[in-house]
Amino acid sequence: MEYVTAATALTDCMRRAVAQGLSHGSSGNASIRCPQGMWITPSGLEPETMQATDTVTVDLHGKVLAGALRPSSEWPLHAAIYRARPDVDAILHCHSRHATALACCGRDIPAFHYMVAAAGGDSIRCAPYALFGSEKLAVHALQALSGRRACLLANHGQLTLGSNLGQAFALAVEVEELAAQYLAALTAGEPRLLDATQMRAVIARFADYGAARRNDADD
Protein backbone atom coordinates (compact mmCIF):
# COMPACT_ATOMS: atom_id res chain seq x y z
CA MET A 1 0.00 0.00 0.00
CA GLU A 2 1.27 3.47 -0.89
CA TYR A 3 1.34 6.43 1.50
CA VAL A 4 -1.41 8.39 -0.29
CA THR A 5 -3.79 5.42 -0.25
CA ALA A 6 -3.08 4.66 3.40
CA ALA A 7 -3.30 8.29 4.49
CA THR A 8 -6.66 8.70 2.77
CA ALA A 9 -7.92 5.47 4.37
CA LEU A 10 -6.86 6.66 7.84
CA THR A 11 -8.57 10.03 7.44
CA ASP A 12 -11.74 8.40 6.11
CA CYS A 13 -11.69 5.87 8.96
CA MET A 14 -11.55 8.55 11.65
CA ARG A 15 -14.37 10.49 10.01
CA ARG A 16 -16.50 7.35 9.82
CA ALA A 17 -15.74 6.64 13.48
CA VAL A 18 -17.20 10.02 14.44
CA ALA A 19 -20.16 9.61 12.08
CA GLN A 20 -21.03 6.20 13.58
CA GLY A 21 -20.57 7.30 17.17
CA LEU A 22 -17.38 5.37 17.85
CA SER A 23 -15.46 8.53 18.71
CA HIS A 24 -16.04 12.21 19.31
CA GLY A 25 -13.94 15.33 18.97
CA SER A 26 -10.26 14.58 18.58
CA SER A 27 -10.41 11.32 20.56
CA GLY A 28 -9.29 8.07 19.03
CA ASN A 29 -6.52 7.13 16.62
CA ALA A 30 -5.72 4.69 13.85
CA SER A 31 -2.68 3.31 12.10
CA ILE A 32 -1.56 1.08 9.25
CA ARG A 33 1.67 -0.92 9.17
CA CYS A 34 4.18 0.15 6.51
CA PRO A 35 7.71 -0.96 5.54
CA GLN A 36 9.24 1.85 7.62
CA GLY A 37 7.05 1.14 10.65
CA MET A 38 3.57 2.64 10.58
CA TRP A 39 1.43 5.43 9.22
CA ILE A 40 -0.57 6.92 12.09
CA THR A 41 -3.07 9.71 12.60
CA PRO A 42 -1.77 12.95 14.14
CA SER A 43 -2.27 14.14 17.71
CA GLY A 44 -5.10 16.49 18.65
CA LEU A 45 -6.82 16.98 15.30
CA GLU A 46 -10.55 16.51 14.86
CA PRO A 47 -11.36 14.26 11.89
CA GLU A 48 -13.44 17.00 10.24
CA THR A 49 -10.31 19.11 9.81
CA MET A 50 -7.84 16.26 9.32
CA GLN A 51 -6.27 15.95 5.88
CA ALA A 52 -4.55 12.91 4.39
CA THR A 53 -1.30 14.88 4.33
CA ASP A 54 -1.49 15.19 8.15
CA THR A 55 -0.73 11.46 8.49
CA VAL A 56 2.61 10.83 10.20
CA THR A 57 5.14 8.13 9.31
CA VAL A 58 6.79 6.70 12.43
CA ASP A 59 9.16 3.79 12.95
CA LEU A 60 8.34 1.18 15.57
CA HIS A 61 10.51 2.91 18.16
CA GLY A 62 8.88 6.34 17.87
CA LYS A 63 11.16 8.12 15.43
CA VAL A 64 9.16 10.41 13.14
CA LEU A 65 10.26 9.76 9.56
CA ALA A 66 7.81 12.00 7.72
CA GLY A 67 5.05 14.45 8.57
CA ALA A 68 4.81 17.98 9.91
CA LEU A 69 2.61 17.13 12.91
CA ARG A 70 3.14 15.10 16.05
CA PRO A 71 1.93 11.50 15.85
CA SER A 72 -0.92 10.36 18.08
CA SER A 73 0.06 10.18 21.73
CA GLU A 74 -0.85 6.49 21.55
CA TRP A 75 1.96 5.68 19.11
CA PRO A 76 3.73 3.54 21.79
CA LEU A 77 0.62 1.34 21.99
CA HIS A 78 0.42 0.91 18.22
CA ALA A 79 4.16 0.30 17.89
CA ALA A 80 4.19 -2.33 20.64
CA ILE A 81 1.38 -4.22 18.94
CA TYR A 82 3.09 -4.18 15.55
CA ARG A 83 6.34 -5.39 17.13
CA ALA A 84 4.61 -8.24 18.96
CA ARG A 85 1.92 -9.19 16.44
CA PRO A 86 3.14 -9.83 12.87
CA ASP A 87 -0.43 -10.87 11.99
CA VAL A 88 -1.66 -7.29 12.54
CA ASP A 89 -1.48 -4.65 9.81
CA ALA A 90 -4.01 -2.08 11.09
CA ILE A 91 -5.16 -0.77 14.48
CA LEU A 92 -8.11 1.36 15.57
CA HIS A 93 -8.55 2.85 19.03
CA CYS A 94 -11.78 4.65 19.90
CA HIS A 95 -13.91 5.79 22.83
CA SER A 96 -17.31 4.39 21.86
CA ARG A 97 -19.99 4.94 24.51
CA HIS A 98 -21.01 1.46 25.64
CA ALA A 99 -17.61 -0.18 25.32
CA THR A 100 -16.11 2.68 27.31
CA ALA A 101 -18.85 2.36 29.96
CA LEU A 102 -17.92 -1.29 30.49
CA ALA A 103 -14.24 -0.36 30.46
CA CYS A 104 -14.91 2.18 33.21
CA CYS A 105 -16.31 -0.69 35.29
CA GLY A 106 -13.24 -2.80 34.51
CA ARG A 107 -15.49 -5.51 33.05
CA ASP A 108 -14.65 -8.06 30.40
CA ILE A 109 -17.32 -8.88 27.84
CA PRO A 110 -17.97 -12.59 28.48
CA ALA A 111 -19.48 -15.18 26.15
CA PHE A 112 -23.07 -13.92 26.57
CA HIS A 113 -23.45 -13.90 22.76
CA TYR A 114 -21.72 -16.03 20.17
CA MET A 115 -20.49 -12.94 18.29
CA VAL A 116 -17.99 -12.34 21.10
CA ALA A 117 -15.94 -14.91 19.17
CA ALA A 118 -15.49 -12.33 16.40
CA ALA A 119 -12.69 -10.93 18.57
CA GLY A 120 -10.92 -14.29 18.49
CA GLY A 121 -11.84 -15.98 21.77
CA ASP A 122 -14.50 -16.66 24.38
CA SER A 123 -14.31 -13.17 25.89
CA ILE A 124 -13.23 -9.63 25.14
CA ARG A 125 -10.87 -8.81 27.97
CA CYS A 126 -10.52 -5.48 29.73
CA ALA A 127 -6.89 -4.44 30.21
CA PRO A 128 -6.01 -2.81 33.57
CA TYR A 129 -5.81 0.97 33.63
CA ALA A 130 -2.61 2.77 32.72
CA LEU A 131 -1.91 6.34 31.66
CA PHE A 132 -2.67 7.02 28.00
CA GLY A 133 0.40 7.05 25.81
CA SER A 134 2.45 5.09 28.34
CA GLU A 135 4.51 1.94 27.84
CA LYS A 136 2.58 0.40 30.74
CA LEU A 137 -0.66 0.78 28.78
CA ALA A 138 0.97 -1.02 25.86
CA VAL A 139 2.05 -3.88 28.14
CA HIS A 140 -1.43 -4.25 29.64
CA ALA A 141 -3.09 -4.09 26.21
CA LEU A 142 -0.81 -6.75 24.74
CA GLN A 143 -1.67 -9.08 27.61
CA ALA A 144 -5.40 -8.51 27.09
CA LEU A 145 -4.97 -9.03 23.34
CA SER A 146 -3.25 -12.40 23.68
CA GLY A 147 -5.13 -14.66 21.26
CA ARG A 148 -7.54 -11.82 20.52
CA ARG A 149 -8.16 -9.08 17.97
CA ALA A 150 -9.92 -6.70 20.38
CA CYS A 151 -9.87 -5.60 23.99
CA LEU A 152 -11.21 -2.91 26.28
CA LEU A 153 -8.88 -0.48 28.03
CA ALA A 154 -9.98 0.22 31.61
CA ASN A 155 -11.32 3.74 32.19
CA HIS A 156 -10.43 4.57 28.60
CA GLY A 157 -12.03 2.88 25.56
CA GLN A 158 -11.65 0.01 23.13
CA LEU A 159 -8.96 -1.27 20.78
CA THR A 160 -9.32 -3.42 17.65
CA LEU A 161 -6.86 -5.05 15.27
CA GLY A 162 -7.09 -6.26 11.69
CA SER A 163 -5.19 -7.34 8.62
CA ASN A 164 -6.51 -4.10 7.13
CA LEU A 165 -8.22 -0.98 8.41
CA GLY A 166 -11.64 -2.13 7.20
CA GLN A 167 -11.41 -5.21 9.42
CA ALA A 168 -10.33 -3.19 12.44
CA PHE A 169 -13.19 -0.73 11.89
CA ALA A 170 -15.82 -3.45 11.43
CA LEU A 171 -14.65 -5.15 14.61
CA ALA A 172 -14.85 -1.87 16.54
CA VAL A 173 -18.47 -1.52 15.41
CA GLU A 174 -19.12 -5.10 16.56
CA VAL A 175 -17.44 -4.57 19.95
CA GLU A 176 -19.55 -1.47 20.56
CA GLU A 177 -22.75 -3.34 19.65
CA LEU A 178 -21.81 -6.26 21.90
CA ALA A 179 -21.08 -3.86 24.75
CA ALA A 180 -24.50 -2.23 24.31
CA GLN A 181 -26.23 -5.62 24.24
CA TYR A 182 -24.34 -6.84 27.30
CA LEU A 183 -25.23 -3.74 29.30
CA ALA A 184 -28.88 -4.15 28.27
CA ALA A 185 -28.86 -7.83 29.26
CA LEU A 186 -27.40 -6.97 32.66
CA THR A 187 -30.43 -4.79 33.40
CA ALA A 188 -32.63 -7.90 33.13
CA GLY A 189 -30.43 -10.07 35.31
CA GLU A 190 -27.26 -12.08 34.87
CA PRO A 191 -26.93 -13.19 31.22
CA ARG A 192 -26.59 -16.92 30.52
CA LEU A 193 -23.12 -17.52 29.14
CA LEU A 194 -22.11 -19.95 26.43
CA ASP A 195 -19.66 -22.57 27.70
CA ALA A 196 -16.14 -23.22 26.42
CA THR A 197 -17.25 -26.07 24.15
CA GLN A 198 -19.94 -23.94 22.55
CA MET A 199 -17.55 -21.06 21.96
CA ARG A 200 -14.89 -23.34 20.46
CA ALA A 201 -17.50 -24.52 17.98
CA VAL A 202 -18.33 -20.92 17.07
CA ILE A 203 -14.65 -20.04 16.59
CA ALA A 204 -14.20 -23.10 14.36
CA ARG A 205 -17.26 -22.11 12.32
CA PHE A 206 -15.94 -18.55 11.94
CA ALA A 207 -12.70 -19.95 10.47
CA ASP A 208 -14.46 -20.77 7.19
CA TYR A 209 -17.35 -18.31 7.41
CA GLY A 210 -17.94 -15.67 4.76
CA ALA A 211 -18.15 -15.13 1.04
CA ALA A 212 -15.14 -17.22 0.03
CA ARG A 213 -15.24 -18.97 -3.33
CA ARG A 214 -16.18 -22.62 -3.35
CA ASN A 215 -13.59 -25.19 -4.34
CA ASP A 216 -14.13 -26.98 -7.62
CA ALA A 217 -14.89 -30.09 -5.57
CA ASP A 218 -17.95 -28.32 -4.18
CA ASP A 219 -19.55 -27.93 -7.62
The predicted-structure confidence for 49-72, as pLDDT tens digits, reads as follows 999 999 999 999 999 999 999 999
- Burial per residue of 114-135, b for 16 or more beta-carbon CB atoms within 10 angstroms, e otherwise: bebbbbbbbbbbbbbbbebeee
Confirm whether 13 is domain-assigned: yes
Confirm whether 128 is domain-assigned: yes
**Helical ranges in the chain per DSSP H:** 3-19, 75-84, 97-104, 135-144, 165-187, 196-207
Determine the Cα–Cα distance for residues 209 and 211; give it in Å rounded to an integer.
7
Query: Into how many domains does the chain fold?
Result: 1
The predicted-structure confidence for 71-121, as pLDDT tens digits, reads as follows 999 999 999 999 999 999 999 999 999 999 999 999 999 999 999 999 999
| CA distance from start to end of the chain | 35
User: Which one is catalytic: 74, 174, 176, 190?
Assistant: 74
Confirm whether 73 is domain-assigned: yes
Average pLDDT over residues 177-187: 98
DSSP annotation string for 153-181: ETTTEEEEEESSHHHHHHHHHHHHHHHHH
Asked whether the beta carbons of 57 and 32 are under 8 A apart, the reply is no
Q: Which structural domain range is residue 168 located in?
A: 3-209
Q: Where residue 68 sits, what CATH number does that domain have?
A: 3.40.225.10
Determine the Cα–Cα distance for residues 170 and 194; give it in Å rounded to an integer.
23
Determine the Cα–Cα distance for residues 160 and 148; give it in Å rounded to an integer.
9
CA-based nearest residue to 58, from 32, 92, 96: 32
Confirm whether 217 is domain-assigned: no
Specify the range with the lowest mean pLDDT, choosing from 99-103, 126-130, 156-160, 204-208.
204-208
Reply yes or no on whether 2 is catalytic. no
Determine the Cα–Cα distance for residues 219 and 5; give it in Å rounded to an integer.
38
CA-based nearest residue to 52, from 23, 13, 91, 25: 13
Q: What is the mean pLDDT of the chain?
A: 95
Question: pLDDT band at residue 1, thresholds of 50, 70 and 90?
Answer: confident
Confirm whether 216 is domain-assigned: no
Determine the Cα–Cα distance for residues 39 and 100; give it in Å rounded to an integer.
25
Confirm whether 215 is domain-assigned: no
Confirm whether 193 is domain-assigned: yes
Confirm whether 172 is domain-assigned: yes
Within 8 A by CB and 6+ apart from 82, the residues are: 33, 37, 38, 60, 88, 91
Determine the Cα–Cα distance for residues 131 and 153; give it in Å rounded to an integer.
10
